[in-house]
Amino acid sequence: MTKVKITVGAINKDAGSSRRYKTGGWRTMKPEVDLEKCVSCFKCFDYCPDGAIKKTDEGIEYDLDYCKGCGICAKECPVEAIVMVKEEK
C-alpha cells in the first residue's frame, strides 16, 4: 500500500485515490464478454458494484484491475453475452 505523509486532521484531499488499490486480486472467477452477442444495453455497467465495466463503441470492456468476480454482470445479462470462467493465476 502507498504510504503518504499524514495530513492535518486526516483530511484526505486525494479524491478517488481508492483506485490505487486493485481489488481485481480478490477474484476467483473472471467475466468474459462475447461482443458479438452484446446488445449494448449497459445493464451490466449500471449493476456493477465496483465500476469495473466501461462502455465502448463495441459494447463493454472490463477493467480487471477492479473486477472482484462477483458474477452479477453474467447473471443479469439479458442476452447471455457474459460468462464467468475460472481465473488463471
Cβ-based nearer residue to other proteins, 27 or 59: 27
20 belongs to the binding site for other proteins (CB under 8 A): yes
Question: Count of alpha carbons within 13 Å of 69, Cβ hemisphere only?
Answer: 14
Alpha-carbon distance of 26 to 71, in angstroms, equals 13
59 belongs to the binding site for other proteins (CB under 8 A): no
Eight-class DSSP state of 88 = P
25 belongs to the binding site for other proteins (CB under 8 A): no
- Residue from 32, 58, 61, 65 touching other proteins (CB under 8 A): that is 65
12 belongs to the binding site for other proteins (CB under 8 A): yes
